[in-house]
Structures are given as C-alpha cells and as structure tokens.
Amino acid sequence: MKRLFAAILTATLFAVGIEGMERIETDGAGYLILENGNASYYGKVGSVRREVEAGGRGFAVNIIGKGFDKEQCNVVIPNGVEIIGEKCFYSCESLREVIFEEGSELKEIGHEAFHSSGLESIRIPAKVKGIGRHCFWGCKDLREVIFEAGCPNLKRMDDYAFRSSGLKSIRIPSTVEFIDLYCFSDCKSLGEVIFELDSNLKRIDGYAFAWSGLRSIRIPSKVEFIGEGCFKKCKSLRKAIFEEGSELRRIDGYAFAYSGLKSVRIPSSVEFIGGWCFGNCGELCKALFENDSNLKRMEEYTFLCSGLRSICIPANVEFIGRSCFYKCANLREMIFSPDSQLKEIKKENIPSATRVPPYGTITYPPIKHLLVPYGTIFGDREVYFPCVIEYYNGPITRKQAELIATRNRRSV
C-alpha cells in the first residue's frame, strides 16, 4: 500500500515537472527526495520538518503532498514550503487550524487542498499567487480568511474555491482580477464582501455568489463582465452599487434573478442585459439608467414579474426581447426617450390581461397607452398588445410625455 501511495505521489510530481529520487521515513512521516534538491512531505502526522537528511545530504522540504492524518487538529507549515498539493487535507474533519510560519514562501495551494475539512480560520501567506479549484469547498466551519499584506501576487480565485463554506465576510485583495465560477456560491452565512480600494477586478463569472447570504454588494469600477446567475437567489441582497466610473459592459442572464433587490442604478457603460437578469425580483421597484446610457439590448424576461412601477428606456436601446416586462403588475409608466433608437419590441412586453384559475378572473393591464418611436416593429403576427399604441416621429414635447403618463395613471 505504501509503495502504491509513493508511486501515485511520484506520478503527480512528474506531471508538474518534478521528479522523485528516493523515499525516506522519519518521525513517522514520509518524504520524497526530489531531483531538484528539495523534498516533498507526505505522511500521517501533523509535524512537518523544514529539512530531511538522505545520503549525508540535507534536503529542504518545499512541497506538502497528500496523506495527513484525518484526526489531526492543528498543523504548522514550515516557512520554506512553497506548494500545498492537491487534496492535501481533503476531508480532514478534525482539522481546526493551519499555521504558516512567519516569512512563509508558500506560492500555491492546490485543487481541493482543504475540501470538506473542519478548518475554522486561515491566514493565507503574502506570497501566495494561486488558490486552486474547490480548495475550501464544503468547509462548513470556516468563518474567516485573511490575506496577509493583501497577497499582491494573487490574480485569480478559482472555480468553486469557497463554495458552501461557512464564511461570514471576506475582504478581496486589490490585485485579484478574476472571480471564477461558483467561487462563493451557496455560502449561506456570507453577508459581506469587501473589495479593497483600487480593486483590479475585471470579471465576476457565473454563479460566483449565487444562493449566498449577501445583504449588499459594491462592485468595483474596473469590472467589465458579470456572469450568468452571479447573484441568483440572493434573497437577502437589497443593494447592488456600481462604483463611479464603472466600466461594466455586460450583465448576463439570471445575474440578479430571484434576489431581494429593491432598486438598481445601471451604469452608462452597460451595453447588454441578458435574459431573466432581474426576473422574479418581486421587491425591485426602481431601475434607473444613467445618463448617456450605451444600452442596446434587453433580452427576454429581463424584468419579468418584478415590482417595477415605472421605467425609462434609454435612447440607444434598439431591441427589447420577448416578455421583458411581462407580469410586472405594478408597472404604470414606460417612457421612451425623444431620440429613441428603438427598432423592435418582441411580444408580451406590456403587462397583459391574465386569466387566473380556477374561475378565469381577468386582471387588466395597468398600462393603457404607450407612446413609441415611429416605425417600431412589434414582434411577429401573433403579437397582442392590450393597450393604445401612439407613435411619434421626431422629438416629443414634455407636454406630450406628461399627457401619456397622466392617461396611464387614470386608467388604473
């Protein structure tokens, strides 16, 4: 069995370009001597040596592989260790604390390194530049993660890194540029995420914070992309604030769907809002677009079943997808800019008459009059808009806009 384990570890080291020479045991732990003049630790005890001897020579231990005793509660990592290997502490449920010696040279924490362990807190050394996939997934007792000196070399937080952990809050270093898929998803206790000043974050990928306990989020100005389902079903999320000077270009589908948002101000830089982006946000009463908005497309079901009361469509919007505002029962005003570039509205966009079973009760649409740019195409032949549609050619006067708004208010 020991030979098999050593063979597996050696194969793993070969895969990353490190070749094993000799396997030795000391103090009940195993070490693999490497051709690069260092040694890799693996074994069943929690004490890791800084150096081991073999053939009259000393070898510095700079890699920790698999094999820690699952009953071990505390581990001290020597400052010369540079790599914590894949699944190193995987499912070590008794593990509560990992201490890195002062001046740690640690650079990489491998995939699934602490997956499903009993870790309660961890201080990540300043020189770490990589946190692997699934690294802290399922660490239910993990309440605190501290990045020493802001971890200036850390650029990415990998897929599922902290998923389903017990984190209550986290401060993201300013050097991080990417938060990958499902990174903090299903962190039910995560109420706060703080991005350090001058954050370089550019991308938040799909479902990164979905199903988490976030109450509010301030999105750094350099973020260009928010992925699908990023904040989906964050029921406690009330505020999403975009920093001044936001460079955000795209908000993908389901990004805030089923969340508790009450209002949102969308940066002028946004060009695309994906389907279901704010769908089923029942408490969302206000969605504002900044002046000079570059928004061109609003895909299907964008605000479906939201609590919107009024919406002003930016001038550059050319396309509104199917059922974008469908079943927005409180929507009273839909206002288009006088210089609107709108070319097409797909069907079922005005809150339509709805039959409610079992008696077929009809609730009538709150919007009775709609003023749109001349030449706007209303979907296909099956489209039915249960309201009076008025067209305008060229700029409209404030008086005309107020007249339409008044008609709608009176019709409710």
Are residues 105 and 249 part of one domain? yes
Same domain for 3 and 113?
no
**Burial of 355 from C-beta contacts in 10 A (0-12 / 13-18 / 19+):** exposed
Whether residue 61 sits in one domain with residue 168:
no
Domain check: are 92 and 115 in the same one? yes
pTM of the shown model: 0.82
- When pLDDT is averaged across residues 158-173 and rounded to a whole number, the result is 98
Q: How many CB atoms lie within 10 A of CB 177?
A: 16
**273 plus 357 within the same structural domain:** yes
Q: Are residues 393 and 324 in the same domain?
A: yes
Instruction: Examine the pLDDT at 9 and tell me if it is beyond 50.
Output: no
Regarding predicted confidence, which is higher, 382 or 229?
229
What is the pLDDT at residue 75?
A: 87
Helix (H) or strand (E) holding 409: helix 398-411
Residue type, 388: V
pLDDT surpassing 70 at residue 397? no
Domain boundary among 24, 48, 66: 66
Last residue of a domain, one of 31, 48, 66: 66
Q: Is 374 found in the same domain as 266?
A: yes
Query: Which pLDDT score is estimated for 62?
Result: 83
Question: What are the contacts of 184-189 at 24+ separation with CB within 8 A?
Answer: 184/208, 184/209, 184/212, 185/160, 185/209, 185/210, 185/211, 185/212, 186/210, 186/211, 186/212, 187/162, 187/163, 187/212, 187/213, 188/212, 188/213, 189/143, 189/213
* Per-residue confidence band for 366, with pLDDT thresholds at 50, 70 and 90: low
Question: Any idea which residue has 């009760």 for tokens?
Answer: 361
| Both structure tokens of 188 | 């039910």
Residue 40 lies in domain = 1-66
Q: What is the mean pLDDT of residues 321-334?
A: 86
Percent of the chain with pLDDT over 90: 58
Q: Are 56 and 191 in the same domain?
A: no
- Please state, rounded to an integer, the average pLDDT across all residues of the chain: 83
Q: What is the pLDDT of residue 7?
A: 42
Amino acid identity at 35: E
**pLDDT at 69 exceeding the cut of 50:** yes
End-of-domain residue from the set 21, 46, 66: 66
Residues 56 and 195 in one domain: no
Q: What is the CATH number of the domain that holds 389?
A: 3.80.10.10
d(CA 139, CA 125): 19
Q: How many domains, in total, are found in the chain?
A: 2
* Chain centroid, CA 247 distance in Å: 17
The reply to whether 87 and 99 lie within a common domain is yes
Based on the fold, state whether residues 266 and 334 are members of the same structural domain.
yes
Is residue 276 classed as helix, strand or coil in its secondary structure?
Answer: coil
Question: 26-35, 152-161, 379-388: which range is least confident on average?
Answer: 379-388
**Is residue 109 domain-shared with residue 168, that is, in the same domain?**
yes
